[in-house]
Chain A
Amino acid sequence: MDVKGMLDAVYAPSEDIVARSIEGELIIVPLVSGIGDLEDELYSLNETGKAIWDRLDGKKTLKDVADELSAEFEAPAGEIEKDLIGLLEELVRRKILVAVG
């Protein structure tokens, strides 16, 4: 999918993972095998990653998410989109996120 296609798409957490909030920290626990490079790999998102993740609700397009982040964090839209897509590509590749619809 090209960048424009990604920005128009809607993403949601995959059913192959469990996302947990423990003491304010987001932990992504793989449910099925093949998500991590190692069978016991877990994931966490830093504050920025979490700000993105919290908006991936299966309803907003990535462009909507980028606009919200741009307003909140006063960063250039292009930089935010680049960061968003970087994270999204990895999460989709690892089947942590799936495109909806």
Chain B
Amino acid sequence: MTCLEKSEETSPYLLRVSSQEASFWKTVKPLLGHLDMELTERCNNNCIHCGINLPAGDSAAKQRELSTATIKSILTEAASLGCFSVRFTGGEPLLREDFEEIYLHARKTGLKVILFTNATLVTPALAELFSRIFPLEDIEISVYGIKKTSYEAVTRAPGSFEAAWRGIHLLLEKKVPFVVKSALLPPNRGEVEDFETWASTVPWMDDFPSYSVFFELHGRRDEKRNQMIRSLRPEPNAGVQFLARRKKKYLNEMEAFCSKFIGPPGDRLFACGAGVGGACVDAYGMAQLCMDLRHPQTVYDLKKGSLNEAVTQFFPQVREVKPENPDYVARCARCFLKGLCEQCPAKAWAEHGTLDTPVDYYCEIAHTEARVLGLLRKDERAWEVSDWKERLRNLSHREYGIKSKRRSSWT
């Protein structure tokens, strides 16, 4: 720079950017862009499908949780590594009595905050705080039913329906931006239309709400919980039909997704972006590549080391791990649906206790979606397909993604 640039009416030196598209550092990426913090595994709901929650009053869990000071120190270190946003999740993060202090610390450190909550514990004071000091990202509220009967059949917590709606209305009154999402479960399956009609009245909803459909098993591999979760999972075909119920939207989104993200991973076990530019910290101070990956050999104890060490030394080592399971090598490593398929080390861990065992449920879902998209023919297995690149090209050239001969899939 040799000379100041010429000024205009509005200063040309100040750049305004929406935080939704904040990518000032497109060319220079910070060591850590995003942090997920599970503030607690405890929750005041007891949702039938949940893969993590412990009872709200679990004193042993509460005792093990990170102290306020430790959480603040992790947030400060994250910011020093260039972190720009933190997601507070749980369990129910608002169960922590020090939530306000943690939230304020995050914001005063210059972090945007994404809060995952059931909204039942939103108080007038908290809504006021959020309205005065915005999180800078929409709060994400899980709504399990539009009626008390359906909602509480999911949460198994009497009074939770009224509490959630009270919290939602407090945020609405204070104009605190939030979006809603749900989980497709037997008690609320008949209410999707009503839920979406209501969701469309939420001022910050610019799309249909998202749903959890194919539930993940318990992150700590609790077999009792897993039996319940398995019983709630939809058949792959039914689940995919639900996801694809708005066919043009679904096909357009999937076309964009597939052209970018699918292809055989080869001998890489970590074909996803887990642990690259982001980190997760569980309620007890273990740094993880992703929030679901809790295999003991893939977590780093922040009580014995720093977040910097986790991100720069430990995570890259974990990502170097190669698959050994012959079934994985023969199938998943060669499968072009990788990306579309949710098979990953975290899912393999939750399902089988290893990092590289194929998860048949996700395999079936991916094959079902691929058939709906016209990427696979009936009875084909994706790891045996050699002309997958051509099939992908055909997908992206289709108008609305439907070939006439496959139209019957949609009826």
Partners in one complex: yes
Which residue numbers of A lie inside 8 Å of B, CB to CB?
Answer: 18-20, 22-25, 27, 29-33, 36-49, 51-52, 69, 73-75, 79-80, 82-83, 86-87, 89-91
- Are B13 and A87 touching (Cβ within 8 A)? yes
> A59 to chain B: closest CB distance in Å?
21
**Which residues of chain B are near A33, meaning CB under 8 Å?**
131-134
Q: Is B30 an interface position by the 8 A CB rule?
A: yes
> What 1/0 mask marks residues of chain B from 57 to 101 whose CB sits below 8 Å from any chain A CB?
000000000000000000000010010100000000000000000
Q: How many residues of B contact A (CB 8 A)?
A: 42
Q: Is B20 an interface position by the 8 A CB rule?
A: yes
**Which residues of chain A are near B126, meaning CB under 8 Å?**
none
Q: Which of B2, B7, B18 contacts A41 (CB 8 A)?
A: B18
- Distance, CA A22 to CA B25, complexed state (A): 8
A37 nearest in chain B by CB position: B16
Q: Is B237 an interface position by the 8 A CB rule?
A: no
- Are A86 and B82 touching (Cβ within 8 A)? no
- Are A74 and B3 touching (Cβ within 8 A)? yes
- Are B19 and A42 touching (Cβ within 8 A)? yes
- Are A75 and B4 touching (Cβ within 8 A)? yes
**Which residues of chain B are near A42, meaning CB under 8 Å?**
16-19, 22, 136
**Which residues of chain B are near A24, meaning CB under 8 Å?**
28
5 residue pairs, one from A and one from B, having the closest CB atoms: A49-B13, A18-B110, A87-B11, A40-B19, A83-B7
**A22/B82 contact (C-beta < 8 A), A44-B24, A86-B11, A87-B11 known:** yes
- Distance, CA A24 to CA B30, complexed state (A): 10
> B74 to chain A: closest CB distance in Å?
17
> What 1/0 mask marks residues of chain B from 125 to 158 whose CB sits below 8 Å from any chain A CB?
0000001111011000000000000000000000
- Are B16 and A46 touching (Cβ within 8 A)? no
> A28 to chain B: closest CB distance in Å?
8
Can you name 16 A-B pairs with beta carbons within 8 Å? A18-B107, A18-B110, A20-B110, A25-B24, A40-B18, A43-B16, A45-B14, A46-B12, A46-B15, A48-B1, A48-B5, A49-B13, A73-B2, A79-B6, A83-B13, A91-B11
- Are B110 and A27 touching (Cβ within 8 A)? yes
> A30 to chain B: closest CB distance in Å?
7
- Are A43 and B133 touching (Cβ within 8 A)? no
**Which residues of chain A are near B22, meaning CB under 8 Å?**
42
> B117 to chain A: closest CB distance in Å?
18
